[in-house]
């Protein structure tokens, strides 16, 4: 992993219609391919609609329709030469899971299940328990979802697993119990995760009017390099190895601090 990776976010506001969301995401795949992007992120639960916002729960979700839509989008992305990180849902023995599916133009599909659940998340979802790293053109892409950003160990484990970049899909929107706090604190969390691991970090957020921050990218220094509210956002992920050697030192020292390595 020595070359920059041109990535994209497709920010929109999903509904409770899998078919409508599928078509919107397909538009994003086409737009990303036309722009030359090799990687595309959607928001959290982009294919299903986010529970408590677009839908009450998953009681009426057609899981067969969802699986078919995932396959269709994976095929479309692969044919377009785009790696797709798709916000969707899955099933486990004890309930539904909030998933990021890496598919399309990737060596192997992988599915990450959101590990850190908010109180609202715990109503429709059960938590995952594994760090997951996808691959794209030689990059290791550590997958995370929304609330995960507040928990440093999630990203420590992704770094330990070989992530060259962190990819976060999210639905960060809605009433703030302390108005103005989340719009201030959340960008700082993203900058911190990027800086403490010297790892470029890409966020795709929903485009809801009451979102707390835009989609964006932070480089391995923790500096924000891209910002966008709705539609296609392009961002270049730059390897830390192309920056000052200091950033590789930071990465190694962080691993030693967390894991004694």
Q: What is the pLDDT along the chain (261 residues), one digit of tens a residue?
A: 579 999 999 999 999 999 999 999 999 999 999 999 999 999 999 999 999 999 998 999 999 999 999 999 999 999 999 999 999 999 988 999 999 999 999 999 999 999 999 999 999 999 999 999 999 999 999 999 999 999 999 999 999 999 999 999 999 999 999 999 999 999 999 999 999 999 999 999 999 999 999 999 999 999 999 999 999 999 999 999 999 999 999 999 999 999 986
Q: Which residues pair with 84 in a beta bridge?
A: 40, 103
Dihedral (CA of 111, 115, 117, 122) sign? positive
Dihedral (CA of 205, 207, 212, 216) sign? positive
The torsion angles phi and psi of 118, rounded to 5 degrees, stand at -70, 170
Q: Using CA atoms, how far apart are residues 115 and 129, in angstroms rounded to an integer? A: 6
CA 53 to chain centre: 19
169, 166, 121: which is closest to 12 by C-alpha?
169
Asked whether the beta carbons of 166 and 155 are under 8 A apart, the reply is yes
Q: Using CA atoms, how far apart are residues 90 and 113, in angstroms rounded to an integer? A: 8
Q: Using CA atoms, how far apart are residues 205 and 42, in angstroms rounded to an integer? A: 8
- Angle, CA of 175, 201 and 11, to the nearest 5°: 50
């Amino acid at each position: 992993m020595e070359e920059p990776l041109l990535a994209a976010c497709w920010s929109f506001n999903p509904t409770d219609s899998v078919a409508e969301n599928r078509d919107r995401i397909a538009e994003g795949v086409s737009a990303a391919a036309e722009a030359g992007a090799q990687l595309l992120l959607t928001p959290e639960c982009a294919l299903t609609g986010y529970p408590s916002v677009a839908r009450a729960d998953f009681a009426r979700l057609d899981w067969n329709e969802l699986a078919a839509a995932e396959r269709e989008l994976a095929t479309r992305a692969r044919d377009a030469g785009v790696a797709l990180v798709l916000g969707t849902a899955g099933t486990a023995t004890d309930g539904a899971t909030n998933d990021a599916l890496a598919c399309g133009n990737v060596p192997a599909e992988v599915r990450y299940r959101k590990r850190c659940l908010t109180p609202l998340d715990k109503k429709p979802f059960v938590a995952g328990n594994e760090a997951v790293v996808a691959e794209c053109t030689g990059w290791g892409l550590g997958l995370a979802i929304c609330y995960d950003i507040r928990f440093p160990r999630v990203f420590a484990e992704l770094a330990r697993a070989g992530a060259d970049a962190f990819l976060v899909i999210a639905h960060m929107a809605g009433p703030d119990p302390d108005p103005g706090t989340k719009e201030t604190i959340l960008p700082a969390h993203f900058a911190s995760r990027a800086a403490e691991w010297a790892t470029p970090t890409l966020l795709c957020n929903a485009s809801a009017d009451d979102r707390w921050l835009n989609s964006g990218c932070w480089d391995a220094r923790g500096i924000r390099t891209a910002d966008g509210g709705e539609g296609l956002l392009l961002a270049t992920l730059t390897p830390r190895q192309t920056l000052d050697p200091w950033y590789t030192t930071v990465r190694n020292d962080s691993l030693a601090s967390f894991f004694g390595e």
